[in-house]
Structure 1
């Protein structure tokens, strides 16, 4: 367990009642997942939505009545629809190197959404508003996975290792597999749970099995009609072939393959996406891949690898590419200054990277907002 306290003012740009009200007012949280939960059970959707023009939308009077009766409102994958939460989630992915997502929990009074349970992922819990009472019990088994683990509440350890009512600015890290019992703190509560999925030996085994497909023993059909002795012999051939390949597949290669495959969110950059115009010096360019893409020089080209694709650009752009990977977000003029290149040249590079979906571009007003937030 890790506990920290942040200045609540730092969280204002992340999420607030205003952000939640905007989502509810538009009637849908798609592509995020919106649901209500009480006493460990998820409520049927028909209890809080209505059909409108062939679509299911929130029935706000029902939603609010159910919450007054003790249900908790949850939005899974809030990072898909809210810019501030998306930025925080992407930062967590960069910090941990793992895939992450963010869920929102809204509770009134002392409501309890779930029975005592554990998650198969590590979580950072950030209390935004109000209070929430947490008991953390520790694990009942090592390293549970969605495919392996017994989450029956009867297995929750009796011993409480950490107990605290979280207030705005409080942050805790709950490791994968650690049981916890959570209840409203007697008032309103708004908290975010950032979940990140750490890679395991199971992930490496699946990756290694794919890499071993060059061996015919791995690809051959299993002989269902063979004798038990023949089937054991085939099994031994498969095991020997896999081990021969797997010994030459270090974890470093696995992490490297993940980095090369890593991409980013598919975000729009209008009007540039359609007009093809080069951005101006005051416009903001931001790198799309969440993890830093691999960059290498090959002869007359600098090659950027992201989402399992190689993008080759003239080698003269190498300083600008390195500066963009390092800074991630800056104006075109700032990028040109750091690369020691003309603004026009860097603007053309940004336009090319935008066509490759490697960057997004936003107008000068985004730079002004960044400056105001920094102050």
Structure 2
């Protein structure tokens, strides 16, 4: 069976559109191909209040669906006791208490809203588009800091991030990495448990740069760069958009956890922990088994497995219950919004067009490729503008690739 990439004319169905990454950097195509190794600041003229702001923050805190650990209140670099800013509700005992939370912020504490891509529709759509542009899933936290306050001391993160200043200003102190490109398990919270890793050690380092972010500023912060931030005369609200890194370390873990035939089922002998010679012999056997397995597995097989694992980490399309149940009529003038970001790959295989979404694969006749490429190249369309069969439109609508405008 042969697999061929969809022709790029009239457009590539899964090619990045840069609708999101284009708001965060001046040259999104170059950025995607080779992200800067050092922090860089980009100025977005339009700002980001359409994604999140003070009003959205109030609405999110007031929502009955928010529960710990969706939000945290930080003071002195540590989380304060839950009961100081939560309240019981009819269903839960750990919902946010807006009055108490505001009181803690008035005393200098900071508020962290976590996983906002799961709760905010504007951020959900933006992060899906950003994930499509970068080929990396995105996680969003919001940080609210009152005037003249600091939430966290100097630290580093194991994820690349975009720092998006939405409201107010914040002064960032950046220091060069003490650990190059830390992996997911090498977070600062874990490493600082060791005696040689201390906050004092990081804060004693000479700053690489000190800069002030204003509304509309975007700071690209590569993983491992030491940073701390403090508000000055006004309150600050910024978003941290963290990007998953598909590292070789991640790949090894995925391979060992997903391949059924991989060596490793044999238990080590009882003397493994007592006798060094027995332990070395057991490890040598494992090493030989792994080497033989890798030698007998093609690069294509390994790549397909890893790509499939990565795709499943992306969010699934936002499907509309009304699209499935209401069976609303589709007229020539019905306006649909197109969500190209839901298509993670597109190939022709065995005479069929396969559109790979995060959680499923949609199959169409190969002949549908040109019209679907034209459809997915648009942000909006009506059936009158683009002659697509109603059953195809309805299916794309049901699957979340289209929504009624």
Q: Same fold (TM over 0.5)?
A: yes
CA contact (8 A) 1:350 1:359 kept: no
Query: Which residue of 1 is the match for residue 175 of structure 2?
Result: 137
In the superposition, the TM-score normalised over structure 1's length comes to 0.82
CA contact (8 A) 1:111 1:183 kept: yes
Superposed CA deviations along residues 164-223 of structure 1, whole A, max 9, x for unmatched, are: 1211111111111111121112212111111112122210111232465424x4333333
- Equivalent positions of 1:232-311 (< 5 A) are 232-246=280-294, 248-249=298-299, 253=304, 256-258=307-309, 260-261=311-312, 263-265=314-316, 267-277=318-328, 279-281=330-332, 282-287=334-339, 290=342, 292-299=344-351, 301-307=352-358, 309-311=360-362
* 1:242–1:212 CA distance, 2 compared to 1 (3 A): farther
How far the C-alpha of 1:320 sits from its partner, in A, is 3.1
Counterpart Cα distance in 1 of 2:67 and 2:335: 30
CA distance in 2, matches of 1:260, 1:78: 21
C-alpha distance in 1, partners of 2:47/2:269?
A: 62
In 2: Cα distance, 1:252 partner to 1:189 partner: 43
What is the aligned-residue RMSD (CA, Å)?
A: 2.9
- Within the candidate set 355, 363, 366, 1:312 is matched to 363
Distance 1:350 1:30 in 2: 38
**Matched residue SS, 1:219:** coil
Distance in 2 between the 1:262 and 1:129 partners? 31
Q: Kindly state the Cα deviation for residue 326 of structure 1 after the two structures are TM-superposed.
A: 4.2
Provide the C-alpha distance between the structure 2 equivalents of 1:87 and 1:76, rounded to a whole number of angstroms. Answer: 17
Which residue, out of 59, 65, 77, partners 1:22? Answer: 59
For 1:203, the equivalent position in structure 2 comes to: 250
Preserved contact between residue 111 and residue 145 of structure 2 (Cα < 8 Å): yes
CA contact (8 A) 1:353 1:359 kept: yes
Q: 1:67 to 1:209 in 2, by over 3 A?
A: same
More helix by share: 1
Give how far 1:97 is off.
1.5
Shifted more, 228-237 versus 11-20: the winner is 228-237
Question: Does the CA-based 8 Å contact 2:160-2:222 persist in structure 1?
Answer: yes
Is 2:153 the partner of 1:153?
no
Q: Can you list the C-alpha shifts for 1:281-318, whole angstroms capped at 9, x where unaligned?
A: 4231434764522331423x322233364432233322
Question: Number of matched residues?
Answer: 351
Match of 2:401 in 1: 359
Cα distance in 1 for partners of 2:313, 2:179 equals 31
Distance across 2 between alignment mates of 1:298 and 1:32: 47
Query: Is the 1:134–1:166 Cα contact (8 Å) retained in structure 2?
Result: yes
What secondary structure does 2:232 align onto?
Answer: strand
Indicate the residue corresponding to 1:170 in structure 2: 217
- 1:121 paired to 2:168: no
Q: TM-score, normalised by structure 2?
A: 0.77
What does residue 112 of structure 1 align with?
A: 150
For the 8 Å contact 1:32–1:81, the answer to whether it is kept is no
Greater strand share, structure number: 1
Instruction: Kindly provide the CA deviation profile for residues 334-373 of structure 1, in whole angstroms up to 9, marking residues without a partner as x.
Output: 7x62xxxx34x1x311322344x352422xxx3xxxxxxx
Cα deviation digits, residues 57-76 of structure 1 (max 9, x gap): 33222111111100111101
| Alignment pair present for 1:78 and 2:116 | yes
Task: Find the aligned partners of 2:294 and 2:359 in 1 and give their Cα distance.
Answer: 22
Q: Which of the residues 366, 383, 387 maps onto 1:333? A: 383
Q: Structure 1 residue 186 and structure 2 residue 224: aligned?
A: no
Kindly indicate whether the alpha-carbon contact (under 8 Å) linking 2:66 and 2:96 is maintained by their aligned counterparts in 1.
no
Mapped contact 1:132–1:189 kept (Cα < 8 A): yes
Matching of residue 5 in structure 1 with residue 43 in structure 2: yes
1:32–1:80: 8 Å Cα contact kept in structure 2? no
Unaligned runs of 5+ in 2: 1-38, 193-197
The answer on whether the counterparts of 2:172 and 2:213 sit within 8 Å (CA) in structure 1 is yes
Higher relative contact order (CA closer than 8 Å, sequence separation 6+)? 2
Deviation at 1:121, TM superposition (A): 0.8
For the residues of structure 2 that align with 1:218 and 1:261, how far apart are their CA atoms?
25
